[in-house]
Amino acid sequence: MKILLITGSYPPDICGVADYTAALEKYLRRAGVQVSVYSGRRWDLSNAGRIARELRASDADILHMQYPARGYGWNLGPQLLAVLEPLLMTIHECSQAHILRRLSLYPFTLRAPRIIFTNEFERRYVRQFAPWIEHRSDVIPIGTNVGVALGRTDRLRNVVTYFGLIRPQKGLEHVLEMASYFKTRTNGLSVRIVGTVSPRDKDYYENLRHKARELPIEWVLGLDGDRLSRALAETEVAYLPFPDGASERRSSLIAMLANRAAVITTQGLHTPPAMEQAVLLANSPTEAATLAEELYNDPERRAATQSSSSEYALKFSWENIAAQHIAIYHQLFARRPEAILSSEKGLLP
């Protein structure tokens, strides 16, 4: 059985879905699956027919699209492709997307034999306007795209780490407010921002740096591989102020939990109750800063929070995620006529 992952972005592109696709590819290979990736194409409507022909000409047994991704932009080629070909779909985001983006998801629900969501909240949300997906939808959580560092790593004392993309609507302004609070308190605490800046967000980043020039902030940018793993393993306390609240679709949060950090974050409509027990919730940067102080002043509470983090993160292992995908692939491969394969290819038994 051969799998073709279709995505608008793939490393070195800076995009969460790009990282997710690369990790899924890696762990499917480890499980013995033959898998390849189709990416880097023009996704406008005029190019959809050519892409469909290329997909039909491939020797893939299952076509699996990841959507959305930054590389797709606002093009509607993926939607037309989903009408032309019955694609297995993973929909990474809907509820927080622009209304036009949400409307554009309809074509993906029509011919897809199965639709995968990364959390139950998103599946319930889409079922409200597409109830016909009730019996052909699944939930498979995302995993961390950052490996846990091997061996002993000394943790940074009195440092609160933010980890994620440096771009608008990631809560970075709240991180700067926390640093400003630390400065006025003269408590010895500081902030470390670990992340990556895409070329399109360079102006936003430069503006942040200008605002933060007098604040106790260290910028650690562009890390990958082992260097990034070590940076997260060094984290005692993390602050991840998501504007729409913490959820299981936040890979940066999962990475911090997997690295046994005590995570301070924000609550939202799709924050699961079990996650609320594994993190500390703060309604404002000031409240978050106060929690950080308390954690550093109370080693027992800090250790207990870190233990809860690592226990909760176990469900997000990539081995488990790959196994769940493989189960779906086998189910689809065995089905007629709903299988993803085009019957014209003569590959069905």
Please check the confidence at residue 28 and state whether its pLDDT lies above 60: yes
Mean pLDDT of 270-297: 96
Q: In what order do the strands lie in the sheet with 115-117?
A: 34-38, 2-6, 62-67, 88-91, 115-117, 137-139
128: pLDDT strictly greater than 80: yes
Please report, for the chain, the start and end positions of each structural domain, with discontinuous segments joined by +.
2-143+317-345, 159-316
Which pLDDT score, from 0 to 100, does residue 314 have? Answer: 86
Q: Which region among 54-68, 142-156, 189-203, 251-265 has the lowest average model confidence (pLDDT)?
A: 142-156
- Averaged pLDDT, 128-139: 94
pLDDT exceeds 70 at position 349: no
Token code pair at residue 118: 């990364």
Predicted local confidence at residue 343, as pLDDT: 41
Q: Does pLDDT of 291 surpass 90?
A: yes
The mean pLDDT of 188-198, rounded to a whole number, is 95
The yes-or-no verdict on residue 22 having pLDDT over 90 is: yes
Of 189, 170, 171, nearest to 179 by C-alpha is 189
Q: Angle of helix 16-30 relative to helix 251-258, nearest 10 degrees?
A: 50
Average pLDDT over residues 248-273: 92
Query: Which architecture characterizes domain 159-316 according to CATH?
Result: 3-Layer(aba) Sandwich (3.40)
pLDDT tens by residue, 6-21: 999 999 998 889 999 9
Q: Give the architecture (CATH level 2) of 2-143+317-345.
A: 3-Layer(aba) Sandwich (3.40)
Distance (Å, rounded) from C-alpha 349 to C-alpha 338? 13
Region of poorest pLDDT, from 22-26, 270-274, 340-344 = 340-344
pLDDT (0 to 100) of residue 295: 97
Identical fold, 2-143+317-345 and 159-316: yes
**Average pLDDT estimate for 154-176:** 96
pLDDT digits (tens, 9 = 90+) for 208-232: 999 999 999 999 999 988 899 999 9
The span from the CA of 138 to the CA of 318, in Å, is 17
Q: Over range 163-184, report the average pLDDT.
A: 96
Please report, rounded to a whole number, the percentage of residues in the chain having pLDDT higher than 90: 78
Mean pLDDT of all residues in 136-152: 82
Nearest to 226 by CA among 146, 134, 112: 146
Rounded mean pLDDT of 96-107? 83
Residue 215, SS3? coil
Amino acid at 27: Y
Structure confidence by residue, pLDDT tens digits, 333-345? 987 454 444 444 4
Q: What is the pLDDT of residue 150?
A: 66
76: pLDDT strictly greater than 50: yes
Find the helix or strand (DSSP H, E) in which 154 lies.
none
Among residues 78, 32, 126, the alpha carbon closest in space to that of 330 is found at 32
Residue found under tokens 């089905």: 335
- Check: CB of residue 232 under 8 Å from CB of residue 162: no
pLDDT tier at 99, thresholds 50, 70, 90: confident
What would the mean pLDDT of 292-309 be, rounded to a whole number?
Answer: 96
Q: In the predicted model, what is the mean pLDDT of the chain? A: 91
Once rounded to an integer, what is the mean pLDDT over residues 179-206?
Answer: 94
- What values do phi and psi take at 236, rounded to 5? -85, -50
Q: What is the pLDDT of residue 340?
A: 43
Q: Report, as an integer, the average pLDDT of 124-143.
A: 93
SS3 sequence, 321-349?
HHHHHHHHHHHHHHCCCCCCCCHHHCCCC
Provide mean pLDDT across the span 79-99. 90
Give bridge partners of residue 190 from the DSSP assignment.
159
pLDDT at 151: 67
- Tens digit of each residue's pLDDT (9 = 90 or more) over 44-72: 999 999 999 999 999 899 999 999 999 99
